Structure 1
Amino acid sequence: MHKKMRFSNWILLLLILLFVGSEPISSYSSPSSASEEHAEISRNFLSYAKKSDFFDWIVGIRRKIHENPELGYEEFETSKLIRDELDKMGIAYKYPVAVTGVVGFIGSGKPPFVALRADMDALAMQEMVEWEHKSKVPGKMHACGHDGHVSMLLGAAKILNEHMHLLEGTVLLVFQPAEEGGGGAEKVVNEGILDNVEAIFGLHLFPYLSVGQVASKPGPILAASGEFNAVIKGKGGHAAIPQQAIDPILAASNVIVSLQHLISREADPLDSQVVTVAMFQGGNAMNVIPDYVTIGGTFRAFSKETFMQLKLRIEEVITRQASVLRCNATVNFFEKEKPFFPATINDESLHKHFWKVATGMVGKSNVKNMSPLMGSEDFAFYQEAIPGYFFFLGMQNIDMNEKLPSPHSPHFKINEDTLPYGAALHASLAVRYLIESQSKIRGAEL
């Protein structure tokens, strides 16, 4: 365990903090303030993570996971690999959490508590990237970078374990199942394991930023999302005698056009919303009007009120527009099978913390303020329970002409050079949060 700082030293530290302020100092050559010393911690963590033995280890972890992708709530082998690595480091953990999840504990075992999160699940798609460590499981692939997320959190665990003397509290390492639609984060929250945690941080690999760059913003950064499915029933018949049938294809077509009016004519242009119909199934012959058509899609918004209003109007438009053309429609939002994801809303004070840590590690020019995206993340469930912060980590190699494909593509690839940055950022965010939290506690006691 680390040695406790003497009372007089804490007074000195507090005075330094009062006069220096929160922004990192541009020169780090000879630290003379608490801010510079904390920035030095972050840079040291990155240097540690870039060492060849550490890099080879973290890349090896990522490739093992990539070769053996598992879908949500089926991550048994991934979970075992995580537990094996934590055992090697002597880090205690709880298992199972939310079916296949693992939560590690490192530090003093006492408050304050801060959490770091990585998602574990893969996607049901066939990998089209030809390389030595291609998925060995037909029809399953890590196409969203979760293999990288797990390896980076294990990397953070190794960094924290090697710098235990800096931990002034406890870090929870949350390896979470089923982010891809399964709402694994909600299950983790419901199990109460984060009840005493003050803050949680999460990251996502991002192919549109360069290695060494990060991006985020305070407030809404990702949208709330839900899915819907509608069965529109008519009356089948011969395509040459449409008057004797009730055409569900025509009704479904009108429904799809009317759904777009929800955005163009009902939504506030300054309140971003999306309704996308991505599935249309009906009929299997050129000369037969089918009995029914099935459509499905997704809807998204940045506020709970807007999201719920959009849900209400989607059901009304589908059922009423279908009835105009003499069809019946039923709508299913899959709320039990796939919980709606809330909007991902970053805590304002944690944004300031992230900015200090990230700029201290990679420099101000590499910390970007990004616009909100209409994608969604079940990290939002944590943010509904405790203050949370989510950010994006670049992995594009500016020295190569190749542009990395987007997530959820069968051609998705990870630039493994970014893994040390994710591990070091995770560890730095946690360590410096605990240091600052303890400073506030001691300041309040003076």
Structure 2
Amino acid sequence: MLFDPTNKTSTLSLCQTQTAMAVLKWVFLIFACLSLFAPPPAATFSSQQIPAKFLDLARRPELFDWMVGIRRKIHENPELGYEEFETGKLIRDELDNMGIPYTYPVAQTGVVGFVGTGSPPFVALRADMDALAIQESVEWEHKSKVPGKMHACGHDAHVAMLLGAAKILQQHRHELQGTVVLVFQPAEEGGAGAKKVLDSGVLENVGAIFGLHVSTKYPIGSVASGSGPVMAAAGFFEAVISGKGGHAAIPQHTIDPILAASNIIVSLQHLVSREADPLDSQVVTVAKFQGGGAFNVIPDSVTIGGTFRAFSKESFIQLKQRVEEVITRQASVQRCNATVTFSSDEKHFYPVTINDKRLHDNFQNVAEQMLGIKSIKEMKPVMGTEDFAFYQEAIPGYIFYVGMADDKKGPFVGGHSPFYRVNEDVLPYGAALHASLAARYLLENQPEPPSSKGSSHDEL
């Protein structure tokens, strides 16, 4: 019965009403307190909205300025492969600030973080973090403070972008339907850090891995991607050609290893021009020639060395075999002996970088929704190598370029140059692409629910 203030017989009802209201008030307070500790509802992502939403977040001044600061700190303090101790500490400090757990050390100096549920599916994002042994020639406020070392390939930007993606993903961790593995990898520049990360077992349950590289070839706001082989396999060889030294005035009493080496070098070039399919790109380059020390002395031996590259495992094996045959047999023609060695360890042999077709389709979809179809460029295969290929031998993987060329900011030279610069406007694009690719992958690769067929339940 409702309380009627004009009815004197409703005093009991007033007391009952006040009591009921007090009880309801406490119930509401209890539920409000409990809601503070309850996890947010999961799976509120809209798959189609993720790319644009994450790009907006990455462009916000607080996140953009933070990424710029991270990148500049790393740039000022470059560290070579397997020496990235301070870089790794900076990464760990930032992950600690975000509340993201991680494993350290991985592959000596690497850091691997984890965002999400901690359960399947697992998807990985990779950033390389080593610098190069180059003296920086660009004069600016945040120039390298370490003589003879600089970030001349954009790895400082790669780390900043992955940390930016980590911040975005951590803010949405309750919406992630799986786990994102953040791989801060050492020693990409010739040290095959990817192989050591893989061998550590930290990626054992990962279903896919994405990587990126900033590029001065493509304009800011664009990306370049491709499916299938995009970078070559590479190996290195060295050969010692031995003859018989003597005075240069009486060559008939010598066996000239320089002449033999010269014929070998010319013959090696025929492997590609005369034996390789013109549609199957291959390279053989002799980049080392050592021997002799005087103008009038023919040496006892000389050493040559170089690299050979191909876009398929079969072509690579065939090329390696022919390199050895040409060197030994041409040396024999010139009455010399030759000993050929190949660098078989992972530091000097990189597999073909092959982008997974299904991940390519995923990338194209995400990039189109974020940047528009006109901003997606074709990633033409190159004869360079990437140790990301080691991941792809074990896990479906995908690597792409993020453009940063901008005529308004002057010319940007390619990597491994003392005049290399990074256009910091690229940072939001890389961070948003990383985060979007990971979140989308988790949404679209949920494990199948357990089948109920054949199960039974007995009532007590």
TM exceeds 0.5?
yes
- What is the CA-CA distance between 1:358 and the residue it aligns to? 0.7
Aligned-partner residue type, residue 284 of structure 1:
G
Please, which of 143, 146, 156 is the counterpart of residue 137 of structure 1?
146
Between structure 1 and structure 2, the one with the greater Rg is 2
SS in 1 for 2:436: helix
SS in 1 for 2:235: strand
C-alpha change, 1:430 and 1:323, in structure 2 (3 Å) is same
**Mapped contact 2:42–2:175 kept (Cα < 8 A):** no
Matched, 1:291 2:300: yes
Specify the alignment match of 2:159 in structure 1: 150
Matched, 1:419 2:457: no
- What is the CA-CA distance between 1:364 and the residue it aligns to? 0.5
Specify the alignment match of 2:309 in structure 1: 300
Please, which of 42, 52, 66 is the counterpart of residue 61 of structure 2?
52
Please, which of 48, 71, 75 is the counterpart of residue 84 of structure 2?
75
- What is the CA-CA distance between 1:101 and the residue it aligns to? 0.8
Output the CA distance in 2 between the equivalents of 1:133 and 1:177: 22
Output the CA distance in 2 between the equivalents of 1:283 and 1:116: 50
Matched, 1:371 2:380: yes
Matched ranges for 1:200-215 at <5 A = 200-215=209-224
Specify the alignment match of 2:17 in structure 1: none
**Mapped contact 1:2–1:167 kept (Cα < 8 A):** no
C-alpha change, 1:414 and 1:317, in structure 2 (3 Å) is same
Range 365-374 or range 90-99, more displaced = 365-374
Specify the alignment match of 1:269 in structure 2: 278
C-alpha change, 1:332 and 1:83, in structure 2 (3 Å) is same
Output the CA distance in 1 between the equivalents of 2:228 and 2:450: 28
Matched, 1:167 2:197: no
Specify the alignment match of 1:358 in structure 2: 367
Give CA deviations for 1:265-320 in whole Å, capped at 9, x if unaligned: 11111111111112222223222222222222111111111111111111111121
Output the CA distance in 2 between the equivalents of 1:45 and 1:4: 18
Aligned-partner residue type, residue 413 of structure 2:
P
Output the CA distance in 2 between the equivalents of 1:288 and 1:214: 56
Aligned residues: 415
Q: With the length of structure 1 as denominator, give the TM-score of the two structures.
A: 0.89
**Mapped contact 1:2–1:164 kept (Cα < 8 A):** no
Output the CA distance in 2 between the equivalents of 1:117 and 1:323: 48
**Mapped contact 2:188–2:386 kept (Cα < 8 A):** yes
Matched ranges for 1:42-441 at <5 A = 42-336=51-345, 338-400=347-409, 402-438=410-446, 441=448
Output the CA distance in 2 between the equivalents of 1:255 and 1:425: 48
Output the CA distance in 2 between the equivalents of 1:163 and 1:5: 10
SS in 2 for 1:96: strand
Output the CA distance in 1 between the equivalents of 2:452 and 2:42: 16
- What is the CA-CA distance between 1:240 and the residue it aligns to? 2.1
Output the CA distance in 2 between the equivalents of 1:406 and 1:76: 27
Aligned-partner residue type, residue 234 of structure 2:
S
- What is the CA-CA distance between 1:197 and the residue it aligns to? 0.7
- What is the CA-CA distance between 1:442 and the residue it aligns to? 6.1
C-alpha change, 1:143 and 1:5, in structure 2 (3 Å) is closer
Give CA deviations for 1:108-164 in whole Å, capped at 9, x if unaligned: 111111000011111222222222222222222221111111111111111111222
Aligned-partner residue type, residue 101 of structure 2:
A
Output the CA distance in 2 between the equivalents of 1:70 and 1:335: 26
Identity percentage over the alignment? 69
SS in 2 for 1:171: strand
**Mapped contact 2:43–2:177 kept (Cα < 8 A):** no
- What is the CA-CA distance between 1:222 and the residue it aligns to? 0.7
Aligned-partner residue type, residue 421 of structure 1:
Y
C-alpha change, 1:273 and 1:135, in structure 2 (3 Å) is same
**Mapped contact 2:243–2:301 kept (Cα < 8 A):** yes
- What is the CA-CA distance between 1:255 and the residue it aligns to? 1.1
Output the CA distance in 1 between the equivalents of 2:296 and 2:141: 49
Structure 2: segments with no counterpart, 5+ residues: 1-38, 454-460
Give CA deviations for 1:385-435 in whole Å, capped at 9, x if unaligned: 1111110111101434x3311111222111111011101100000011111
Aligned-partner residue type, residue 119 of structure 1:
D
Output the CA distance in 2 between the equivalents of 1:46 and 1:315: 51
C-alpha change, 1:320 and 1:143, in structure 2 (3 Å) is same
**Mapped contact 1:39–1:361 kept (Cα < 8 A):** no
Give CA deviations for 1:33-72 in whole Å, capped at 9, x if unaligned: x9xx433221121111112221221111111111222121
Aligned-partner residue type, residue 334 of structure 2:
L
SS in 2 for 1:202: strand
Q: With the length of structure 2 as denominator, give the TM-score of the two structures.
A: 0.86
- What is the CA-CA distance between 1:165 and the residue it aligns to? 3.0
SS in 2 for 1:399: helix
- The alignment's C-alpha RMSD in Å is 2.0
**Mapped contact 2:42–2:174 kept (Cα < 8 A):** no
C-alpha change, 1:141 and 1:307, in structure 2 (3 Å) is same
Output the CA distance in 2 between the equivalents of 1:276 and 1:375: 13
Output the CA distance in 2 between the equivalents of 1:237 and 1:311: 33
Structure 1: segments with no counterpart, 5+ residues: 7-33
SS in 1 for 2:203: coil
**Mapped contact 1:229–1:295 kept (Cα < 8 A):** yes
Output the CA distance in 2 between the equivalents of 1:267 and 1:444: 53
